[in-house]
A = this chain, B = another copy of it.
Amino acid sequence: MKTLCSPALKDIRLTDPVLRFRQERCFDSTIPAVIAQTLKSGRIQAFALKWKEGMPDKPHIFWDSDVAKVMEGMAYTLALSPDPDLEKIYEEWVDLICSAQQPDGYLNVYFTIVEPEKRFANLMYDHELYCAGHLIEAAVAGYEALGKRKLLDCLCRYADYLCSVFGYEEGKRRGWPGHEEIELALAKLYRVTRKENYLKLLQYFINDRGTSPNFYVESEGKNSAALMQVQAVRPVREQKKAEGHAVRQIYLACGMADLAALDQDESLLTACRELYDNITLRQMYVTGGIGSCFAQERFTVDYDLTNGNLMYAESCAAMGLAFFAWRMYNVTGETKYMDTVERCLYNGILSGIGLCGDKFFYANYLEMDENHSSRFSRTREPWFDCACCPTSFARFIPQFGRFLYSVDPTEELVMINIPAANHAELELNGRKIVLDIAGKYPYDGMIKITVGTSGRFALQPRIPGWCGKYSLCLNGKLQENWCIRRDWNAGDVLELDLEMPPEWIYSHPKVTSNSGRVAIMRGPLVYALEEIDQNVPVRSLILKTSSPLKIVSSAFEILKDVPVLEGVAESETFPDESLYSTQPPIVSTVTFRAIPYALWQNRGDTNMAVWMRRS
């Protein structure tokens, strides 16, 4: 097992065309927007514990988690882009949250003032431990990013209380989180504090989950269908397929990977590998979206990847998959995991937030047509009553930098995971390694890496799974070996060339939704056809895979500098209004244009498809 480390956020300054733009919008638009919504909905005020029956803004069982995620995002934002006004709000919110803590350490608005008699009474559905997990993550973020202890100390008291309630020991109660999240939070808290009781509680939650007699059946009277939804049918090491609620499943997987690393637990790592393989080889959209069924927001069966708006692919779930794959990469060093991080990042995650930064998709469709009956909105929305997705973006986007590098201290190795342009000052066994990466990745595969630090260490750029042809030059000289260990001189230049021709992508025939269809990728970017770019309906098009795809520029200002793809297609029209006919459609030849999927629905409400018919 490897123990790769990710950089601290403030060590990375993005300068690339995609992530930097999105992060700036996060700072100036997303963070203010989610703060405003958190105030407007009464979520933060609820921590004053003054709500009483009959008053407006009744607290909800998962409100604490939304506030916590906004706090986490604020902490990262303050680290990267200090702002006294924002810091003042942050400090006030910390004070308010800490003030809601009960004498025994318990900290949950709903179960303090709305249903205090139900504390931990219904673990499957009541989200208490989920809220606790997000508060812990927020506290760790404030400490790690800003060095602030108050919220961390508060959450340590809550965590100590939780350790006194749950566990194997005599006098403690059994019980598992109904919405996993606290597991990965406990791993973070343990890494920061090194307090063994947090690790023990994490071990308990992971290792006891799904064992017999089943807690949910015995103590909460739940049936087996309910167990599947929360991944509690069997112990985690026996679960071979992703199942149930997608976000729950993927957060659990993150906690499992964390514990595998902390305990150097090979059997748990094997379980993680099996889950990962099932997801990425059977249950993942080409965009990195997961959870194909909107009903219960869940995983279903292998190869069930319908594209229309009966699908789901929640923004939070794609972020969860990126977090899981990133953990798997850091514990194995295997690049396939980073391929998935990148697939999610540039496609199924960024599709969930508009270029404006303050509108969000809950479900990330791969196809939109006016013949689709609506489940979720066709366009991005400013907020949702269930506000997990907007608040997830607020805390995810500031963390982009974490994914770009991994450092292996034992090997004195710096791994360049995603070569998006940035200035990095990485810590490697006490030394500072300065790197400058230039280029337009992911819009272009030519990358220039300037080493700013002299001394001996190794540098290793990742060869992406999507890349068939690539080269690496050191100071102009072609390299055979991609792990370059040498005595570096400040000013040394690595030139990385990842060829990224547009590619036709085929889907496994068992995915019936995609049979006879083709998608387009270029580098890590999945493309989509939006109706606004075509002269004919998207649904009428049959892409000619024998014709080349060429890169063109868009006339739309919002797509300036974005490589748009153009190709040849047939377009079908029907001779008359009949629904069914013995006459085949009439075919004409047209050109089509495709844009990166993550950018769709930024030019008004228009039809779209990723998987297109092919000829």
Contacts and interface: CB of A to CB of B under 8 A. Distances in A.
Interface of A: 280-282, 284, 286, 292-293, 295, 300-306, 308, 310, 367, 369-373, 468, 503-513, 515-516, 519, 537, 539-540, 542, 545, 572-574, 577-585, 613
Given A282-B579, A373-B293, A509 B308 contact: no
Contacts of A511: 371, 579
Contacts of A505: 580-582
A582 B505 CA distance: 5
A454 to B, nearest CB: 41
B574 A508 contact: yes
Given A310-B310, A511-B579, 4 more contacts: A308-B512, A506-B583, A508-B577, A508-B579
Contact of A509 (B367, B373, B573): B573
A573 B506 CA distance: 11
Contacts of A302: 371
Contact of A506 (B306, B545, B584): B584
A579 B373 contact: no
A582 B467 CA distance: 11
A110 B542 CA distance: 56
Q: How many copies does the complex hold?
A: 2
Contacts of A579: 280-282, 284, 286, 507-508, 511
B509 A537 contact: yes
A293 B373 CA distance: 8
A369 B302 CA distance: 11
Contacts of A506: 574, 580-585
Contact of A504 (B542, B573, B584): B584
A503 B304 contact: no
Nearest to A545: B584
B539 A572 contact: no
A371 B373 CA distance: 22
A202 B579 CA distance: 33
A572 B515 contact: yes
A519 B579 CA distance: 12
A464 to B, nearest CB: 13
A504 B584 CA distance: 8
Contacts of A370: 301, 303
Contact of A540 (B282, B509, B582): B509
A605 to B, nearest CB: 15
A275 B584 CA distance: 27
Contact of A308 (B280, B306, B585): B306
B301 A310 contact: no
B582 A504 contact: yes
In the complex, which of the residues A369, A513, A579 has the most CB atoms of chain B within 10 Å of its own CB atom?
Answer: A579
14 contacts: A280-B579, A284-B579, A286-B580, A293-B373, A301-B370, A303-B370, A305-B371, A506-B583, A506-B585, A508-B578, A509-B573, A515-B540, A516-B542, A519-B580
B578 A281 contact: yes
A516 B611 CA distance: 13
Nearest to A301: B373
A284 B580 CA distance: 10
A515 B504 CA distance: 20
